[in-house]
């Protein structure tokens, strides 16, 4: 497959030899029925009752799926529920008050444990505090917090009073925060004084202040005092201290608001290819059903488990699989504030050993780092409590897959390679660990009730083994309902390309390229639209390029991913051409500074090559594939399609000369 821009790949990564799930796992798995795919198919869409049954409904729904207004699907219509009551109250009511809900591991070795009763009390107090501030049903509350317990508590307090939350990853810049608050017209912000970054105190409040200065609306702000004496701060007008606010409402309870299944639970911004972040809207009934069901069927979570997902709650993985899914099931979810290598590279294994973690879910980029650091670190600990391992966020190739299974999973644990997106809300493609054979490098078949196809540019399914575009051909409960800034953009971004409204044939376009094998297993290769994955996070090359080109003196920029020398990590590599009268030394520092402030640290290019021109196709498109090959020191294919082939030698000379 080729997208006409020379960027297509024709050969998917090879998958490793298939492995059956170990019998000991299959015996106890939450799903052990090999016929479940067929069962769901025969009974679709009513099969999704199975997911909704995992929740407590205030009013039962009358219709599983309403597809009248496709692609604006509605799930479980007529039903009413409250997400916070599902994640906390019902466990307390069912006699599980003292069961641990959250086990928090702080960056400096601090520890805290919240039982379901503790969580219930804190959520109610914060809900009462938010009400005092004026938060009403349907007001968007922005949360800009690092991985501290106040983050999930605030999310659930919002859910309790029916106020959608919009969590902005704490490492994003003031500009990124302001853009998101502006787009959502959000008038409430929950943030903190700062947090520790590898032991140093880092000021978060000043970023929040800068964002507020850029906003037209008045913003009421609540500040968590995370650092105490390490970073004293003074509260200004319309600012409250989080724990003082909580204390003034000590012991109060707030009735959970009965939300319509289709009412918004939260907004989550994700990078778009056009540079404008997209506000993905998730609703209450469908989303919560889908995350609860997949937490059980794919991650095999049981209430007695200690489960750990190593993502940040600031991204969708943390929303779905640290907070909503595991808490809906009443399990113990581990929340880790730090990084895997601080104070040493054995940090994660020590936490797994000490807490007897049963299920561990992380990103392939982390697995590649563990592999690089060496087996001695996990080797120092007893990891035999682990029953299942998972990955999410990027493709995982057979080598790290096997390393993960061997050195973390003791050669025993099944691995689930889960494919999904911010927009899908929950996992769509994965093996069912107690049922399906695993193929290292391939995610698996679409889950029961999910239908996916790999198609060519005309929408025709490709032959087994060929590469194409990954589409989802039936709706699913956790799907995004729209984009906050408009239905039109929602249709344009995800539906238009492979749908035919005249025949009411709607297919969701994931934006990923993939390959389907003869058993229906899907290997996802990556984004169609040049997105670079750094440390497990998808960064839009377009967004980075626009941050570079907004610096004075820059004419044009292209960024690509470059594998590090060990092949384990991806760095951002930028090609920049300056305007006349400027040269690299003038602008290098401004590029770095601007990318950091507009997008964040993770997006800063590791290397910048200055070139008089960028290689272009005849139609004027920048040829990123070629730039990627140059960055990676690979041999260059045919360059005859270029409008300016002579530039290639110049760029290589410039790269080698540095």
Q: How far apart are CA 485 and CA 502, in angstroms?
A: 25
Q: Which of 392, 413, 426, 548 binds ligand WTA (CB under 6 A)?
A: 392
Is 421 a residue that touches ligand WTA (CB under 6 A)?
yes
Site string for ligand WTA, 442-461 (x = CB under 6 A): -x------------------
Q: How far is the CB of 647 from ligand WTA (least distance, A)?
A: 30
Is 431 a residue that touches ligand WTA (CB under 6 A)?
no
**Contact at 8 Å (CB) between 607 and 576?**
no
Q: Which of 166, 204, 422, 611 binds ligand WTA (CB under 6 A)?
A: 422
How open is the CA angle 557-531-169, to the nearest 5 degrees? 100
Is 294 a residue that touches ligand WTA (CB under 6 A)?
no
Residue corresponding to tokens 């889950």: 447
CB atoms within 10 A of CB 633: 12
Q: Which is nearer to ligand WTA, 259 or 537 (CB)?
A: 537
Is 394 a residue that touches ligand WTA (CB under 6 A)?
yes
Is 312 a residue that touches ligand WTA (CB under 6 A)?
no
Token couple for 264: 């918004």
Q: Which of 154, 317, 431, 611 binds ligand WTA (CB under 6 A)?
A: 317
Q: Which residues, in sequence order, are CB contacts of 634 under 8 Å at separation 6+?
A: none
Q: Which of 289, 482, 538, 540 binds ligand WTA (CB under 6 A)?
A: 538
Q: Which is nearer to ligand WTA, 107 or 278 (CB)?
A: 278
Residues in contact with ligand WTA, counted by CB under 6 A, come to a total of 22
Q: How far is the CB of 411 from ligand WTA (least distance, A)?
A: 22
SS3 of residue 88 by DSSP:
helix
Is 362 a residue that touches ligand WTA (CB under 6 A)?
no
Is 395 a residue that touches ligand WTA (CB under 6 A)?
yes
Token couple for 24: 């000991």
| Stretch of 146-154, 176-184, 399-407, 411-419 lying at the interface with ligand WTA (CB under 6 A) | 411-419
Omega of the bond leading into 540 within 30 degrees of 0 (cis): no
Q: Which is nearer to ligand WTA, 161 or 429 (CB)?
A: 429
Beta bridge partners of 556: 577
Q: Which is nearer to ligand WTA, 55 or 427 (CB)?
A: 427
Question: Edge to edge, what strands does the sheet with 100-105 contain?
Answer: 111-115, 100-105, 332-336, 306-309, 359-362, 388-392, 415-418
Q: How far is the CB of 140 from ligand WTA (least distance, A)?
A: 20
Token couple for 35: 């016929």
> In terms of DSSP H, where are the helices of 94-237?
116-133, 150-160, 174-183, 205-213
Q: How far is the CB of 523 from ligand WTA (least distance, A)?
A: 8
**Contact at 8 Å (CB) between 401 and 416?**
no
Q: Which is nearer to ligand WTA, 331 or 422 (CB)?
A: 422
Is 524 a residue that touches ligand WTA (CB under 6 A)?
yes
CB atoms within 10 A of CB 290: 32
Token couple for 357: 């973690």
Q: Which is nearer to ligand WTA, 333 or 421 (CB)?
A: 421
Q: How far is the CB of 338 from ligand WTA (least distance, A)?
A: 21
Pairing of strands 467-472, 306-309: unpaired
Token couple for 585: 């030394």
Q: How far apart are CA 269 and CA 314, in angstroms?
A: 10
Q: Which is nearer to ligand WTA, 81 or 367 (CB)?
A: 367
Is 540 a residue that touches ligand WTA (CB under 6 A)?
no
Q: How far apart are CA 152 and CA 154, in angstroms?
A: 5
Q: Which residues bind ligand WTA (CB under 6 A)?
A: 270, 315-317, 392-395, 417-422, 443, 510-512, 524, 526-527, 538
């Amino acid at each position: 497959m080729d997208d006409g821009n020379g960027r297509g790949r024709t050969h998917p990564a090879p998958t490793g030899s298939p492995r059956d799930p170990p019998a000991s796992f299959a015996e106890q798995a939450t799903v052990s029925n090999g016929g479940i795919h067929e069962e769901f198919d025969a009974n679709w869409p009513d099969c999704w009752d199975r997911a909704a049954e995992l929740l407590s409904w205030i009013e039962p729904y009358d219709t599983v799926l309403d597809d009248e207004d496709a692609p604006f699907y509605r799930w479980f219509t007529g039903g009413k529920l409250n997400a916070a009551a599902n994640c906390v109250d019902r466990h307390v009511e069912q006699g599980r008050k003292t069961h641990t809900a959250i086990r928090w591991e702080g960056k400096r070795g601090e520890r805290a444990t919240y039982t379901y009763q503790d969580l219930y009390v804190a959520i109610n107090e914060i809900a009462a505090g938010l009400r005092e501030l004026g938060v009403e049903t349907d007001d968007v509350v922005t949360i800009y917090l690092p991985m501290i317990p106040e983050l999930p508590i605030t999310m659930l307090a919002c859910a309790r009073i029916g106020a959608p939350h919009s969590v902005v990853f704490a490492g994003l810049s003031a500009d990124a925060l302001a853009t998101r608050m502006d787009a959502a017209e959000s008038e409430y912000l929950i943030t903190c004084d700062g947090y520790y970054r590898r032991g140093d105190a880092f000021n978060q409040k000043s970023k929040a202040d800068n964002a507020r200065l850029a906003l037209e609306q008045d913003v009421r702000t609540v500040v968590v005092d995370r650092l105490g004496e390490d970073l004293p701060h003074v509260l200004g007008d319309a600012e409250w201290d989080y724990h003082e606010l909580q204390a003034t409402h000590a012991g109060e309870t707030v009735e959970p608001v009965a939300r319509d299944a289709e009412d918004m639970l939260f907004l989550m911004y994700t990078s778009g290819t056009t540079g404008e972040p997209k506000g993905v809207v998730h609703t209450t009934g469908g989303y919560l059903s889908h995350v609860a069901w997949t937490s059980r069927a794919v991650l095999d979570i049981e209430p007695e488990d200690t489960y750990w997902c190593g993502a940040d709650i600031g991204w969708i993985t943390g929303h779905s699989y640290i907070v909503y899914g595991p808490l809906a099931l009443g399990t113990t979810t581990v929340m880790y504030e730090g990084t895997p290598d601080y104070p040493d590279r054995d940090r994660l294994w020590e936490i797994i050993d000490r807490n007897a973690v049963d299920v561990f879910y992380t990103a392939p980029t982390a697995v590649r780092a563990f592999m690089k650091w060496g087996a001695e670190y996990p080797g120092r600990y007893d990891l035999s409590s682990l029953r299942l391992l998972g990955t999410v966020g990027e493709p995982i190739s057979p080598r790290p897959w096997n390393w993960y299974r061997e050195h973390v999973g003791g050669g025993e644990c099944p691995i689930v390679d889960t494919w999904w997106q911010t927009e899908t809300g929950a996992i769509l493609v994965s093996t069912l660990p107690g049922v399906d054979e695993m193929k290292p490098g391939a995610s698996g078949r679409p889950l029961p009730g999910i239908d996916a196809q790999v198609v060519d540019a005309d929408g025709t399914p490709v032959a087994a083994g060929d590469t194409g575009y990954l589409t989802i051909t039936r709706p699913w409960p956790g799907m995004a309902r729209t984009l906050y800034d408009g239905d039109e953009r929602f249709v344009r971004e995800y539906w238009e390309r492979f749908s035919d409204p005249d025949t009411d044939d709607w297919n969701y376009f994931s934006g990923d390229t993939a390959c389907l094998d003869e058993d229906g297993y899907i290997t996802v290769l990556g984004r169609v639209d040049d997105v670079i994955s750094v440390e497990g996070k998808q960064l839009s090359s377009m967004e980075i390029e626009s941050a570079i080109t907004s610096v004075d003196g820059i004419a044009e920029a292209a960024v690509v991913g470059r594998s590090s020398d060990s092949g384990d990590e991806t760095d951002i590599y930028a090609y920049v051409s300056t305007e006349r009268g400027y040269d690299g030394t003038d602008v290098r520092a401004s590029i770095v500074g601007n990318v950091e402030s507009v997008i964040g640290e993770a997006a800063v290019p590791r290397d910048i090559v200055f070139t008089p021109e960028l290689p272009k196709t005849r139609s004027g498109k920048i040829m990123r594939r070629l730039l990627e090959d140059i960055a990676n020191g690979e041999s260059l294919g045919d360059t005859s399609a270029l409008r300016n082939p002579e530039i290639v030698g110049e760029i290589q000379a410039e790269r080698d000369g540095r």
